[in-house]
Amino acid sequence: MRSGPLEFVKSVLFGFGIVSVSHVIFTVFSQTIPSAVTGFFRDVSAAFIVIMVFAFAFTWFLKARPHNRPKKYSVVVFDIYGNQTEIDSLRTNFKNHDVAWSFMKQYKHDYPLHNFAMVADGANTEKKTIFRYI
């Protein structure tokens, strides 16, 4: 014999002779409404997941597209007053960003009273853009 609150309600309603109405109410509130609500939320959650996947793919596409990166970098030396100067025996032209940055850090350690800026050398750049400045 099954026991539970729903079976108790069915047996009480059966005792009063309202089996058909109670069966309809029982079916509507225990099966029909919950299945419709869970189906709705299942569809909404699936749509949310699909939207999140497309948003991630779109942001990844924007970040992963090729950028125009400079081919050459040079290090510019500034004195304590902010005037551009040159120090003999310093390498100032580089083909790689990371190597130029490494040399700049070493130069700053060796010459603490000078500042250093890394700029891109391009064929069509009239005004140079400073990438890093220490």
- Per-residue b or e along 4-41, where b marks 16 or more CB atoms closer than 10 Å to that residue's CB: eeeeeebeebeeeeeeeebeeeeeeeeeeeeeeeeeee
How confident is the model at residue 20, as a pLDDT? 65
Residue 125 has pLDDT above 60, yes or no: no
Grade residue 16 by pLDDT with cuts at 50, 70 and 90.
low
How confident is the model at residue 28, as a pLDDT? 74
Specify whether the CB–CB gap between 116 and 80 falls below 8 A.
no
User: What values do phi and psi take at 42, rounded to 5?
Assistant: -65, -45
- Percent over 90 (pLDDT), the chain: 17
**pTM greater than the 0.75 cutoff:** no
Distance between CA atoms of residues 70 and 96, nearest Å: 9
Residue 55 has pLDDT above 90, yes or no: yes
Distance between CA atoms of residues 111 and 109, nearest Å: 6
